[in-house]
Amino acid sequence: MNKFKRSSLFPLILFLSAFLFYIFYEDLTVPVQPRNNDLVRVIRIYDGDTIGILFGQKEERVRLIGIDAPEVGQRPWGKRAKKYMEGILDESDWKVRLEFDIELRDKYNRLLAYVWTEDGRMINLLMLENGFAMLFTVPPNLKYIESLKVAQKKARQRGIGIWGKNGLKQRPFEYRKEQDEKNLIY
């Protein structure tokens, strides 16, 4: 073999090796995610917009797309939102389906999903419709934006939950920001 053929063969061998490694070992480096419409078990409620699911042998945090519920420390609405979520999950035997949008995870590595009960009710929508959360959209995850807007509008018009007379005094993101500032060490 002449020098030219040997030197052009090396990149080809390197490319094929990398390609085969990628094909056979790709699943070891990329975390497996639930597929849309897989039924998963909820094992924990963090608050009115974040749950923990069991996927395989691992717990995954799931942030409900399109809503922002009061934090547990925002009394009394944080605990009420969490309790309402618990009631929905009790009715669904703590089994839900996840539906993903454009972005799969947020900056905290939580799965982002529309969460559906086994009987087809969207929990994100129920939280808004019954006044236990407020609309919170983050593009590009906007698949159900119009339905979510209508749900919040109904709750506000009826003056229920956080929109009622003794409703929420501070938006959840403002509360989180305030808490973060209090916890800063100078």
What global pTM score does this model have? 0.78
Cα 123 to Cα 115: distance, rounded to the nearest angstrom: 6
Q: Quick check: is 174 catalytic?
A: no
Catalytic residue selected from 63, 80, 97, 156: 63
Smallest CA-to-CA distance from 144 within 135, 156, 153 is with 135
Catalytic residue selected from 97, 110, 129, 156: 110
**Residue range 177-186, pLDDT digits in tens:** 888 888 875 5
User: 157 pairs with which residues across the strands?
Assistant: none
Catalytic residue selected from 60, 71, 80, 97: 71
Looking at the domain 39-183, which fold is it?
OB fold (Dihydrolipoamide Acetyltransferase, E2P) (2.40.50)
Average pLDDT over residues 139-163: 97
DSSP helix, strand, coil percent of the chain (3-state; round to 5): 40, 25, 35
pLDDT band at residue 7 under the 50/70/90 scheme: low
Q: Which two tokens stand for residue 112?
A: 């982002």
Q: Quick check: is 110 catalytic?
A: yes
**Residue range 78-116, pLDDT digits in tens:** 999 999 999 999 999 999 999 999 999 999 999 999 999
**Residue range 60-73, pLDDT digits in tens:** 999 999 999 999 99
pLDDT at 30: 39
Q: Any idea where the domains of the chain sit in the sequence?
A: 39-183
Q: Quick check: is 181 catalytic?
A: no
